[in-house]
Amino acid sequence: MKQSKILRQLRRVDFRSKLLSLQFINVPPANSQPPVGLIVALHGWGANAEDVASLLPYFQLPNYQFVFPNAPYPHPYSSVGKAWYDLRNENMYQGLSESRQLLTDFLQSLESSTAVPLSRTILCGFSQGGAMTLEVGLKLPLAGLVVMSGYLHPDAVPTEQKEIPPTLVMHGTQDEVVPLQAAIRTRETLQSLSFTVDYREFAAGHEINLQMLEALRNFVLTTIA
């Protein structure tokens, strides 16, 4: 099925919180049965929900429901891109607290609309979306977290918690946008608090490749099962 045809079939929905609204693409299971689990995938800085939704055929998880949110802020350099918060030096992290609350409220609302509890929900993200996955997901009782080419915000780790969701961290060794050291730092920080992390490196740049998607698929099947 061609990408354009897939995107035409996707359903766009609005979620409104107290301060911001969030648009998202909702994709029910391909078999029209109740979902085995829910996967929420967050795009990176300057991308959008459709970018991640275009990877849907490669996830190869037809029994799962997928939700692809759009970040709430416009990207400063792209008419179609979105941002979870600003990454320009003069406004670094501006909007982060608002996006954190919006995404938390959104995730907690999904059970009522999908009938899938947080305990069967996987939150994953790429680049800035990976950073938001850690920012929000470490504090919620989710089934698991998947971080691709992401990084850990300062003070994102809830040190008072005794456990976090199972977490898969993946990164390209040739990443020219978010250096590999960011993933290593994430792993070391979580492990220093006695949290278990599944850590993988790939011979790749700043991208989501098929090897990462296969590792994500296996992680989802193992974690939800």
Per-position pLDDT tens, the chain of length 225: 334 444 434 445 565 656 678 899 999 998 889 999 999 999 999 999 999 999 999 999 999 999 999 999 999 888 899 999 998 878 888 999 999 999 999 999 999 999 999 999 999 999 999 999 999 999 999 999 999 999 999 888 888 888 999 999 999 999 999 999 999 999 999 999 999 999 999 999 999 999 999 999 999 999 997
Residue at token pair 């080419």 = 149
Q: In the prediction, which pLDDT does 10 show?
A: 45
Name every residue whose Cβ is closer than 8 Å to that of residue 154 and which is 6 or more positions away in sequence: none
Q: Are 125 and 150 in contact (CB under 8 A)?
A: yes
Q: In the prediction, which pLDDT does 32 show?
A: 84
User: Rounded distance, CA 57 to CA 2, Å?
Assistant: 10
Q: In the prediction, which pLDDT does 21 show?
A: 81
Q: In the prediction, which pLDDT does 15 show?
A: 59
User: Rounded distance, CA 131 to CA 82, Å?
Assistant: 15
Q: In the prediction, which pLDDT does 12 show?
A: 53
Residue at token pair 């993933």 = 183
What predicted TM-score, i.e. pTM, was given to this entire model? 0.91
User: Rounded distance, CA 160 to CA 48, Å?
Assistant: 33
Tell me how far apart the 2 most distant CA atoms of the chain are, in Å: 48
Distances (CA, A) of 202 to 107, 148, 215: 29, 11, 11
Residue 49: closest CA among 80, 77, 70:
70
Q: In the prediction, which pLDDT does 106 show?
A: 95
Residue at token pair 């919620």 = 140
The number of residues making up the chain comes to: 225
User: DSSP H helical segments within the chain, as ranges?
Assistant: 3-9, 49-53, 56-59, 96-114, 128-137, 180-192, 210-224
Q: In the prediction, which pLDDT does 155 show?
A: 84
How does strand 21-27 pair with strand 11-16?
A: antiparallel
Across 167-193, b (16+ Cβ under 10 Å) vs e yields: bbbbbbeebeebeeebbeebbeebeee
Residue 206: closest CA among 128, 144, 138:
128
